[in-house]
Amino acid sequence: MYTKDSAIQEVITALKKAIGKGFEVTVDMLETPPDSKLGDIAFPVFELAKGKERNPTEIATELAAKIGPGKYITKISSAGPYVNFTFALTVVTEEVIKQVAKMKKTYGNSKTGEGKNVLVEYAQPNTHKEFHIGHVRNAVLGQAVVNVMEANGYKVIAASYIGDVGAHVAKALWGLKKFMSDEEIKDIPKNERAKKLGEIYTKATQFVDEHEKAKLEIAEVQQKLEAGEEPWHKLWKETREWSLREFKSIFEELNVAPDVWYFESEVEKKGKVLVKKMLTKGIAKKSEGATVVDLADEDLGIFLILKSDGSSLYATKDLALAFEKDRKFDPDRQIFVVDVRQSLYFQQLFATLRKLEYTKKLTHLAYDMVNLPEGAISSRSGNIVRYEDVRDAMVLKLVEETQKRHEDWKEKEVTEVAKTIALGSMIFMMLRQDPKSIITFDMEEALSFEGFTGPYLLYTIARIESIKKKAGMKSKVEAKLLTNRLEHELIRRLANYPDLVQDVGAHFQVSSIAQWAFDTAKLFAEYYHEIQIIDEKNQELTQARLALAESVGQVLKNSMHLLGIDVLEEM
């Protein structure tokens, strides 16, 4: 049990005793006071005062007087309508630091999800299109959700789902043949192939807008592709690999690690079979030549599941895929990390799955878009910022910065560190904001590494590592010596961390981990400037402070790990 939980138990027991029968004190009635000067756990008495015709402030005063100190709580006081409990600092400090030291990477983990099996679908880019910063948000958010759920004891299947067929593929391939000769295609440098596909896609889209006829040609290509006709099939197979190879290396960089890869091309046929079955069962019907599911009775309108020309849609494949996943992994719950614009679509999909007697829990984890200052990202119009361009710009700037700081480092070392910082910076940028809010991506801001950024966190962690090295001695928990105000604050934050992990595991507001980490790092920076950790004249004190610094470093690392950010010993 975590120290905070023990303290809470103590508080609840004491409150129960003081209040007597007729009122049930529960864990969620307790809060954290806004300022640690007030205390570490607060009990607002409003609820309790409701039945009685008495002033809440009086009741709080009375309660505070009735309760005496315990093992974890030393001071009980009232402030207005609140009863505040202050940690017995020595006990709590010692226990927290020891627990962090013992649990290390697992500090913060819980068993809430034990025995439960969850499948998270995320990282669903389309082949033949650019991988842009919007995709980064999706992949990185999904991975963070996976990480947090695993930390909470769930068995998680992380599933990527790649859009490797459909109209966009036909368009890209048509464009490739239209705008380039076979020779030119062959001569595209290996590392530019994926990029070229994206460019061609945009060019083709613009061409179609001006030439009606092209539309027909592309539709023809799509039908030939679905029928497996050459030379299109061969070209598809080859170019698909171009994109996939790129995705794999991007995922690896971003610490996005799916356990399974699904492809639209693999579920397309199954989807069409399922649609046929739905027609005979009467769940679906024909309408204007297309196949639809009528969800009007659920206020969800009409759900289109097959085009009138018999070719497939997202829905065709998603229906089949849900059952595929179920057959293979038997998850208790499926979570879909997809942008908010698909909300209605997912409601329709889930309602249809229920009609097909799929009974397990389905969740659409909606996040909002990444916009550019010029407006929405659009592969169609070419208004995009490619992931790799951002990364390269960041790395370039960070190489320069790192070189300045470490003139003795070898080039390889500099590049590697710069890259880690760049990726950490990008991931942090995508996760620091609430998933439900729009991110306006500003290149200039992305290239600033001060303040509420990934590098700030990495810097704090590296600094702690540096102190440890410099001290040249082992830490030793001596809680009695850690009585500084900031030490108390830091301990309090560490004690709260497990709660946070559990909360995010339930609600997926990943950004609060980033926020927690930043606030904690900031607090440590303040501490660092106010107090000399290494005190040459006082070894005991140094060891005690080192123990605290180590704990802070460890838990910061843990929080970064949940976000999928690699940390550095030096930077």
Partner RNA sequence: GCGCCCGUAGCUCAGUUGGAUAGAGCGCCAGCUUGCGGAGCUGGAGGCCGUACGUUCGAGUCGUGCCGGGCGCACCA
Range 275-334, binding RNA (CB under 7 A) = 287-290, 292, 301-302, 304, 307-309, 313-315
Write down the least CB distance from residue 65 to RNA, Å.
Answer: 16
Examine residue 448 and tell whether it contacts RNA (CB under 7 A): yes
Q: Which residues contact 62 (CB under 8 A, 6 or more apart)?
A: none
By CB under 7 A, name the one of 27, 344, 396, 473 that touches RNA: 344
Q: Write down the least CB distance from residue 435 to RNA, Å.
A: 8
Stretch that binds RNA, among 66-74, 244-252, 451-459, 472-480 (CB under 7 A): 451-459
| Residue 438 is a binding residue for RNA (CB under 7 A) | yes
Chain Cα centroid distance, residue 513: 9
Question: What's the rounded Cα separation, in Å, for the pair 254 and 122?
Answer: 14
Token pair 């981990």 is found at 513
Q: Does 123 bind RNA (CB under 7 A)?
A: no
Distance CA 247, CA 495 (A): 39
Separation of CA 346 from chain center? 20
Contact range with RNA by CB under 7 A, out of 224-232, 241-249, 340-348, 350-358:
340-348
* Helix or strand run (H / E) with residue 287: strand 285-287
Give the helix/strand (H/E) hosting 118.
strand 117-122
Size of site (CB under 7 A) for RNA: 93
Q: Tell me how far apart the alpha carbons of residues 540 and 475 are, in angstroms, rounded to a whole number.
A: 9
Q: How many CB atoms lie within 10 A of CB 66?
A: 14
What span, in angstroms and rounded, lies between the C-alpha atoms of 424 and 474? 30
CB of 186 to RNA, least distance (A): 27
Q: Give the residue among 99, 37, 85 at the shortest CA–CA distance from 479.
A: 99
Per rule CB under 7 A, is residue 33 in the interface with RNA? yes
Structure tokens at 130: 């650019």
Asked if 538 interacts with RNA (CB under 7 A), we say: no
In angstroms, rounded to a whole number, what is the distance separating the alpha carbons of residues 369 and 235?
Answer: 32
The one segment of 26-34, 98-106, 197-205, 552-560 that binds RNA by CB under 7 A: 26-34
Q: Taking contact as CB under 7 A, which single stretch among the options 146-154, 165-173, 191-199, 550-558 is the one that binds RNA?
A: 165-173
- The reply to whether 462 sits near RNA by the rule CB under 7 A is yes
Among 223, 512, 541, 566, binds RNA (CB under 7 A): 512
- Residue 197 touching RNA (CB under 7 A): no
Contact 164, 131 (CB under 8 A): no
Q: Which of residues 215-274 bind RNA (CB under 7 A)?
A: none
* Residues forming a β-bridge with 156: 118
Q: Which of 13, 46, 114, 413 binds RNA (CB under 7 A)?
A: 46
- Among residues 245, 283, 452, 478, which is the contact residue for RNA, using CB under 7 A? 452
Task: Tell me how far, at minimum, the Cβ of 34 lies from RNA, in Å.
Answer: 4
Q: Is residue 555 close enough to count as binding RNA by CB under 7 A?
A: no
Q: How far is the CB of 393 from RNA (least distance, A)?
A: 14
Contact pick of 23, 374, 451, 485 for RNA (by CB under 7 A): 451
Q: What is the residue whose two structure tokens read 């009138």?
A: 308
CA distances from 466 to 478, 552, 566, 570 (A): 21, 14, 17, 7
CA distance 59 to 18: 11
For RNA, the binding residue among 99, 511, 520, 558 (CB under 7 A) is 511
- Which one of the spans 13-21, 100-108, 133-141, 429-437 is the region binding RNA (CB under 7 A)? 429-437
Among 336, 459, 487, 497, binds RNA (CB under 7 A): 459
Among positions 59, 144, 322, 421, the unique one binding RNA when judged by CB under 7 A = 421
Least separation in angstroms between CB 527 and RNA: 8
Taking CB under 7 A as the criterion, which residues in 360-399 touch RNA? 368, 376, 398
**Percentages of the chain per state (helix, strand, coil), in multiples of 5:** 60, 15, 25
The two three-digit tokens of residue 537, written as one number: 């004249």
**Rg of the chain (C-alpha set):** 28
